[in-house]
Structure 1
Amino acid sequence: MDKRMYFAVFEPDDESEGYTVTFPDLPGCITEGDSFEEAAANAREALELHLWGMEQDGDDIPTPSKPESITTPPGAFLVPVEAWMDLVRNEMAQQSVNTMVTMPRWLKEAAQQAGINFSQLLQEVVKERLGILDHR
C-alpha cells in the first residue's frame, strides 16, 4: 500500500475552538475545522486530494520534512496526517461523472414512462460493449 505521511500545523483560532491546518511541505494545502476532530478529518481529506491532484498534474511530490525541521507559530502544534494513496486513487476512479446524452425526445419520454434509469442502463451497455464483467 502507498501510504504517505506529512506533518500538519494546527493553529488554534483565538476566537473559537477551531483550527486552521496547513502543510508546510505542500503550499496551498490548507483546511480548517470547528473542533480538533473536524480539523483532523478535514486535514486528511485535504492531504489526500492535494496529493492526488499533484499526481494527476504530474507534479513532483516532495519528501516529507522531519518534524524537528518544521517551525510553528506560537500556540500551534504539529500533527502527523496519513494518506493511503491506493485507496484514494481507487475512490477517485469510482467517482461518478455527469455525461450528457442526446436522443430523440420521444425515446426519452418513452423510457421515462417505462421507468428506465438512464445512468444504470448506459453503464451496463458501455461495460458490455467494452467486455467488462464487473468493475465497481
Structure 2
Amino acid sequence: MKDTYSYIAILDFAEDGISIEFPDLPGCLPCAQTQEEALRNAEEAMGLHIYGMEADGEEIPESTPISKIHLEKNQVPALISVYMPLVRQQVKNVSVKKTLTIPAWLNSAAERKNVNFSQVLQSALKQTLGLDDQPRV
C-alpha cells in the first residue's frame, strides 16, 4: 500500500452539471455542479474508491500518463492526488450506530444520572478488549 496516489480525472462539463471519471479506476464516478465541487468530490471519491480496493485486496493500477488520455470537446483533465493515511484514518474512525438492549431499571437509573451511553459503551469495550484510547489507523 502506498501513502499517496495520483490519477487523472476527466471532468465532463454538461448543461446539467459536471460528471467525473477516472480512466484508471472504473466505477469511480462522482459528479458535481461547480468546478470547485468537482475537484473536491473527485478527491473524496478517489480516496474512498482506493480504500475499498485496498480492503478487498485488489491490485491498485498504475496511473496512465496524461499524454495518453483522450478527451472529448467538453472534457478537461485534472490531476487528483490523495494522501491515503488520512483517508484510512477517517474511514476507520467513522461512528457506527449500534442497537442494544438493557433492563428498563438500568436505563432509568442511567438517565437520572445523565449518563452518556455511547461514552460508557466505548470505555467498557476498550477496557474489555485491552485497548488504549488512541484511534485506530
The two structures have a TM-score, normalised by structure 1, of 0.91
Residue 31 of structure 1 corresponds to: 30
Residue 4 of structure 1 corresponds to: 5
Residue 48 of structure 2 corresponds to: 49
Identity of aligned residues (%): 38
Residue 115 of structure 2 corresponds to: 116
Secondary structure in 2 aligned to 1:42? helix
| Ranges in structure 2 where 5+ consecutive residues have no aligned partner | none
Of residues 1-10 and 34-43 in structure 1, the stretch that sits farther from structure 2 once superposed is 1-10
Secondary structure in 2 aligned to 1:29? coil
Question: What letter matches 1:45 in structure 2?
Answer: E
Question: What letter matches 2:75 in structure 1?
Answer: A
Pairwise CA distance, 1:126: 1.5
Question: What letter matches 2:8 in structure 1?
Answer: F
Question: What letter matches 2:30 in structure 1?
Answer: T
Q: How far apart are the structure 1 equivalents of 2:134 and 2:60?
A: 29
Residue 19 of structure 2 corresponds to: 20
Secondary structure in 2 aligned to 1:79? strand
Q: How far apart are the structure 2 equivalents of 1:132 and 1:123?
A: 10
Q: How far apart are the structure 2 equivalents of 1:29 and 1:72?
A: 18
Secondary structure in 1 aligned to 2:30? strand
Of residues 104-113 and 62-71 in structure 1, the stretch that sits farther from structure 2 once superposed is 104-113
Aligned length: 134
Q: How far apart are the structure 1 equivalents of 2:112 and 2:72?
A: 62
Question: What letter matches 2:60 in structure 1?
Answer: I
Question: What letter matches 2:13 in structure 1?
Answer: P
